[in-house]
């Protein structure tokens, strides 16, 4: 592999000049510039970005930490981040945090040691305090789907409260009153927000729902099945169930069918996230759209703005969820 030194020699100029034509930040005479470019082409020169990073103290790489690398939700998000950053010539280093504090911290350390210029994080387990300190300590951080007091500028959030509200309100407007709720793990902030929205909608409609129609699930399909079984075993009747994500909604629908309940004839089911799969289920799932790809792109845009100063697109910190009407919900006659 050719080095800058060989290029400078072939072009008959100094190292510095070659560096300057590469970076284009200082003026170089047209004559030398073309000479250098020719030499580069002839030697098939490609700058060693490691050396560039060391010298310039800028790695042109950003760390991306998600809970899991698989799953439709993170896939779209990562895709958004990568697309936007690669268009800007930046590298994406990925890691998975598995929603576990030790693992998340470990991954962050890992990314920092690689001297990422910034970190894009989707984390549940580490504390707000930790993230604040992290950002203070010199590694700029942008956080997806979590709002951190004192760091709001760096957060790209979905209005989860509104999402929860819309989900339940949609059903209430269609005449449902006995609305069950299958939540995610309550230690997650976004989960609590969704629940809060749900409660707000109920209140608005003066609707009181017994506690036994509220189940804390685990965000997985099996959790949805279990939750539905639990609902069927308790005495309170219900005509609809709102789920905190699409996977659990799938489980609920499958379990309902196994118990000879028709969806949406006997039971309406509402999901949350609008993952790709929700279009393919039977019946097609009515859900709340979570623009994860766009939010990923926006996080990357934040980095381009604040770290690389190469984007003029404004940063949108808060995204609004919308209802996606499909076939798993039906109005009460």
Omega of the bond leading into 283 within 30 degrees of 0 (cis): yes
Q: Tell me which residues in 127-146 interact with a copy of itself (CB under 8 A).
A: 138
Binding segment toward a copy of itself, per CB under 8 A, in 10-18, 106-114, 199-207, 301-309? 106-114
Extract the tokens encoding 18.
């070659």
Q: Is 84 in the site for a copy of itself (CB under 8 A)?
A: no
Q: Is 29 in the site for DNA (CB under 7 A)?
A: yes
Tell the smallest beta-carbon distance from residue 109 to DNA (Å). Answer: 14
Contacts of 101 (CB under 8 A, 6+ apart): 125, 126
Q: Is 28 in the site for DNA (CB under 7 A)?
A: yes
Residue-wise over 224-234: b if at least 16 C-beta within 10 A, else e? Answer: bbbbbeebeee
Q: Is 117 in the site for a copy of itself (CB under 8 A)?
A: no
What span, in angstroms and rounded, lies between the C-alpha atoms of 96 and 73?
Answer: 14
Closer to a copy of itself by CB, 76 or 193: give it.
76
Q: Is 22 in the site for a copy of itself (CB under 8 A)?
A: no
What span, in angstroms and rounded, lies between the C-alpha atoms of 12 and 74?
Answer: 50
What span, in angstroms and rounded, lies between the C-alpha atoms of 304 and 314?
Answer: 11
Tell the smallest beta-carbon distance from residue 104 to DNA (Å). Answer: 24
Q: Tell me which residues in 55-114 interact with DNA (CB under 7 A).
A: 55-57
Q: Say if strands 214-216 and 179-183 run parallel, antiparallel, or are unpaired.
A: parallel
Report the interface residues with a copy of itself, using CB under 8 A. Answer: 1, 46-51, 53-54, 59, 61, 68-72, 74-76, 78-79, 82-83, 86, 91-96, 107, 109-110, 112-115, 138, 221, 247, 250-251, 253-254, 257, 276-277, 279-282, 293
């Amino acid at each position: 592999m050719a080095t800058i030194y060989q290029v400078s020699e072939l072009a008959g100029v100094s190292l510095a000049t070659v560096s300057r034509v590469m970076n284009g930040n200082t003026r170089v005479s047209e004559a030398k510039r073309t000479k250098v470019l020719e030499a580069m082409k002839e030697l098939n020169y490609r700058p060693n970005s490691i050396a560039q990073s060391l010298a310039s103290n800028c790695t042109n790489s950003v760390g991306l930490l998600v809970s899991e690398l698989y799953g439709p939700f993170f896939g779209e998000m990562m895709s958004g981040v990568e697309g936007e950053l690669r268009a800007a010539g930046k590298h994406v280093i990925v890691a998975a945090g598995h929603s576990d504090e030790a693992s998340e911290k470990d991954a962050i350390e890992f990314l920092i040691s690689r001297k990422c210029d910034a970190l894009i994080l989707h984390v549940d387990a580490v504390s707000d305090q930790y993230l604040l300190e992290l950002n203070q300590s010199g590694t700029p951080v942008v956080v997806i789907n979590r709002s951190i007091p004192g760091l709001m500028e760096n957060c790209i959030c979905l209005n989860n409260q509104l999402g929860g509200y819309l989900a339940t309100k949609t059903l209430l407007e269609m005449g449902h009153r006995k609305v069950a709720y299958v939540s995610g793990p309550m230690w997650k902030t976004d989960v609590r927000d969704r629940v809060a929205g749900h409660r707000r909608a109920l209140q608005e409609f003066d609707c009181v729902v017994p506690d036994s129609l509220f189940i804390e699930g685990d965000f997985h399909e099996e959790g949805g099945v279990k939750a539905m079984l639990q609902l069927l075993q308790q005495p309170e009747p219900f005509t609809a169930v709102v789920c905190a994500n699409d996977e659990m909604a799938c489980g609920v629908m499958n379990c309902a069918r196994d118990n000879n309940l028709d969806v949406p004839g006997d039971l309406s089911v509402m999901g949350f996230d609008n993952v790709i799969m929700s279009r393919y289920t039977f019946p097609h799932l009515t859900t709340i759209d979570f623009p994860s790809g766009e939010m990923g792109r926006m996080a990357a845009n934040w980095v381009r703005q604040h770290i690389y100063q190469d984007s003029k697109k404004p940063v949108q910190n808060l995204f609004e969820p919308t209802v996606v009407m499909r076939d798993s919900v039906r109005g009460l006659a």
